[in-house]
């Protein structure tokens, strides 16, 4: 090779070496940027304080199993559909409750945890994170994703077939049974759970002792007239199975204080309001939030928007639950959920940039969004949603 050729190839190698080095450096910077607001640890069982203020992605198959039936908040659900992924921000209250669940002695009566805070601070999203944790830990999930809907937007009201003096919400009961079956489909196929007594629905129909729980659920779905009675029977069987050590159960109710507010928007034929204690669908969830069973845990939220009363002056559990509701849950561990801190706010903004949801935003513009939203999670989603 001539000296000229040698010099030529040596120069080319230096040039492309510098270019390759530059490209590698850019890629490394992009990876570092992604890592600043994301974590690759998508199993909530492994989440700890080191993951706080980072987002993780719920695997698609698990997302489809846990969050169908419009379980996610409408604004967040639209965001999930747009981004084509379900990503939750890992926050301190979720890590706190999951650490309590890890340390709990399940042979003792169930512990209760109550998330509280101002409206829109992200209590429901934290509940979804804990729901995912319970799924991965093989808890049987008893999940009510927004309790007030049963007292405000009822699909059908009928005189109770099994509880004289009460009213049934048969369609709502059937929908909840479908949700329960779908969320727990994997676990129900593995657990040998059977009815412990005969359940008589009418003179010709009954569910005998010793049949699989899944058959009881299917009966309630197909015969929604008795759906509320099936829900009550199912909750009873779950409590007995958990206490006997056949399964462990995680109860999650979002907006529990609606059950204890003393008011509903359900009226009888004489236009007289029917109180919550006369709504048969609520009775099983009052029962399972008592402390008379073990091998499980109870996670609830209280919120002003869950109450049917127009004026609410406090976000504290004692005020929202009322005297009877507070005494019903006592003792419990309250967990405060606040607006985003600086790190959480920055992570969400970076996530929106990564998803191309917001573009070409200046530091001044970002500061304006921060001031407009007050770093409230729901307000931030509203400020950044589509036009």
| pLDDT, averaged across the chain | 89
- Kindly report the backbone phi and psi dihedral angles of residue 206, in degrees, each rounded to the nearest multiple of 5, phi listed first: -155, 160
Per DSSP bridges, beta strands 296-301 and 249-253 are parallel
pLDDT at 16: 46
Q: Is 3 helix (H, G, I), strand (E, B) or coil?
A: helix
Backbone φ/ψ region at 138: left (φ over 0), alpha (ψ -120 to 50), beta: left
Q: What is the percent of the chain with per-residue pLDDT over 90, rounded to a whole number? A: 76
pLDDT at 153: 80
pLDDT at 34: 47
pTM above 0.75, yes or no: yes
Kind and range of the H or E element at 56? strand 55-58
Q: pLDDT digits over 293-336, tens only?
A: 999 999 999 999 998 776 678 899 999 999 999 999 999 999 99
Q: How far apart are CA 233 and CA 213, in angstroms?
A: 10
pLDDT at 373: 95
Higher pLDDT among residues 269 and 196, named by residue: 196
pLDDT at 11: 55
Instruction: Supply angle C-alpha 94, 287, 130, rounded to 5.
Output: 15
Dihedral over alpha carbons 306, 332, 123, 321 (to 10 degrees): 10
* Long-range CB pairs of 364-372, under 8 A, 24+ apart, other chains included: 370/345
Tell me the average pLDDT across 383-387: 77
pLDDT band per the 50, 70, 90 thresholds, residue 351: very high
pLDDT at 36: 83
Checking if the pLDDT of 33 tops 70, the result is: no
What is the chain's percent helix, strand, coil content, to nearest 5?
Answer: 50, 15, 35
Checking if the pLDDT of 8 tops 50, the result is: no
pLDDT at 311: 65
Largest CA distance in the chain: 106
Tell me the average pLDDT across 189-195: 93
pLDDT at 7: 52
Q: How far apart are CA 130 and CA 116, in angstroms?
A: 15
Question: How many alpha carbons lie under 13 Å from residue 13 in its C-beta half-sphere?
Answer: 6
Kind and range of the H or E element at 10? helix 3-37
pLDDT at 152: 87
Task: Supply the angle between the helices 123-136 and 92-103 in degrees, to the nearest 10.
Answer: 30
Q: pLDDT digits over 257-285, tens only?
A: 999 988 888 988 788 899 999 999 999 99
Q: pLDDT digits over 60-85, tens only?
A: 999 999 998 788 988 899 999 999 99
pLDDT at 294: 97
Q: pLDDT digits over 131-148, tens only?
A: 999 999 999 999 999 999
Out of 31-35, 170-174, 360-364, 374-378, least confident range: 31-35
pLDDT band per the 50, 70, 90 thresholds, residue 29: very low
Residues 6+ apart with CB under 8 A from 187: 138, 140, 247
């Amino acid at each position: 090779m001539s000296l000229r050729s040698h010099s030529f190839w040596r120069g080319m190698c230096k040039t492309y070496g510098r270019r390759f080095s530059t490209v590698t450096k850019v890629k490394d910077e992009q990876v570092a940027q992604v890592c600043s607001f994301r974590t690759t640890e998508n199993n909530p069982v492994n989440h700890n304080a080191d993951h706080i203020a980072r987002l993780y992605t719920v695997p698609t198959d698990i997302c489809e199993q846990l969050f169908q039936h419009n379980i996610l908040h409408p604004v967040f659900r639209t965001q999930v559909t747009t981004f084509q992924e379900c990503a939750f921000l890992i926050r301190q209250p979720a890590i706190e409750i999951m650490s309590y669940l890890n340390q709990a002695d399940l042979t003792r009566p169930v512990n209760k945890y109550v998330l509280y805070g101002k409206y829109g601070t992200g209590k429901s999203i934290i509940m979804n994170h804990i729901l995912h944790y319970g799924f991965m830990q093989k808890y049987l999930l008893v999940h009510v994703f927004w309790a007030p809907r049963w007292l405000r937007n009822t699909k059908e009201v009928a005189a109770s077939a099994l509880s004289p003096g009460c009213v049934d919400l048969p369609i709502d009961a059937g929908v909840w049974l479908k949700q329960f079956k779908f969320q727990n489909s994997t676990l129900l196929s593995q657990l040998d759970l059977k009815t412990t007594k005969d359940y008589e629905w009418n003179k010709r129909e009954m569910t005998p002792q010793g049949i699989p729980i899944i058959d009881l659920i299917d009966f309630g779905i197909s015969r929604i007239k008795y759906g509320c009675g099936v829900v009550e029977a199912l909750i009873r069987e779950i409590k007995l199975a958990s206490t006997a050590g056949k399964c462990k159960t995680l109860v999650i109710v979002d907006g529990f204080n609606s059950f204890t507010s003393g008011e509903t928007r359900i009226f009888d034929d004489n236009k007289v309001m029917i109180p919550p204690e006369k709504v048969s669908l609520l009775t099983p969830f009052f029962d399972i939030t008592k402390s008379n069973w073990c091998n499980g845990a109870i996670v609830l939220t209280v919120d002003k928007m869950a109450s049917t009363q127009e004026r609410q002056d406090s976000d504290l559990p004692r005020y929202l639950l009322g005297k009877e509701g507070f005494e019903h849950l006592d003792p419990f561990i309250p967990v405060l959920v606040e607006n985003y801190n600086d790190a959480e706010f920055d992570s969400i903004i970076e996530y929106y940039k990564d998803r191309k949801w917001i573009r070409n935003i200046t530091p001044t513009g970002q500061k304006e969004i921060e001031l407009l939203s007050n770093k409230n999670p729901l307000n931030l989603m509203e400020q950044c949603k589509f036009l």
